[in-house]
Amino acid sequence: MCLAIPMRLVEIDGAAGVAEVDGVSRQVRLDLLPEVSLGDYVLIHAGLAIARVDPDYAQETLALLRSLADEVY
């Protein structure tokens, strides 16, 4: 099973960037999404931004993932 996490882009440098969620930052590749902008939410899978997503969808998904984590831990 694969999982992509919605993260917000906080830095862009060509085809590389930094995405952040809940205070955690990751370097990501933007090769598949050359049209993204700072502040966009993107789905990150294995360090690669694979889709731009609506901010409301991103927040809803993150809330669901947080609630699942709370159930496990």
pLDDT score, position 73: 73
pLDDT score, position 1: 73
Read off the pLDDT of residues 7-16 as tens digits, 9 standing for 90 and up: 999 999 999 9
Mean pLDDT computed over every residue of the chain: 95
Give the three-state DSSP class for 38.
coil
Task: Walk along the chain (73 residues) in steps of 10 and give the mean pLDDT of each run.
Answer: 92 98 97 97 97 97 91 76
* Both tokens assigned to 16: 């590389």
Spatial distance between the Cα atoms of 55 and 69, rounded to a whole number of angstroms: 21
For residue 13, give the CATH number of its domain: 2.30.30.140
Q: Which domain holds residue 61?
A: 5-72
- 16, 10, 13: which is closest to 31 by C-alpha? 16
Number of domains in the chain: 1
Residue tagged 């966009």 (tokens): 40
Q: How many CA atoms lie within 13 A of 36 on its CB side?
A: 33
The model's pTM: 0.90
